[in-house]
Amino acid sequence: MIGNLKPLEIVLIIAVILLLFGAKKLPDMARSLGKSARILKSEAKAMKKDDEPAAPTTETLAEPAPQPTATRTIQAAPGDVTSARPVSDAKPTTHS
């Protein structure tokens, strides 16, 4: 559906967005969208990295290493330290 838009329709949509949100808020909205995309990308990489099995070495075959107990945190965008928060490993429960 988006591929069927003509240039005039795109200009009209942009004009409506400018009228609704104002020109001053659009850069802030784009900036926050970029931060969200970076956080999502880094979390997806971290989840993929957690799912990969570790290659066994002679040290791990001889005796298992103790698991680290440090809490993981969701990393914020560079310079934004207010939105970092701890990640719990607890599974959400569903109520019937």
Identify the three-state secondary structure at position 73: strand
Distance of alpha carbon 46 from alpha carbon 26, whole angstroms: 30
Q: Check if the beta carbon of residue 88 is closer than 8 Å to that of residue 74.
A: no
DSSP string of 39-89, one letter each residue: HHHHHHHHHHHHHSPPPP-HHHHHSPPPPP-PPPEEPPPTT--TT-EE---
Q: pTM of the prediction?
A: 0.39
Q: What is the pLDDT of residues 16-34, one digit of tens each?
A: 988 888 888 888 988 999 9
Q: Give the pLDDT band (50/70/90) at residue 5.
A: confident
Query: For 35-64, what is each residue's pLDDT tens digit?
Result: 999 999 999 999 888 877 766 555 545 555
93 pLDDT band, cuts 50/70/90, is: low
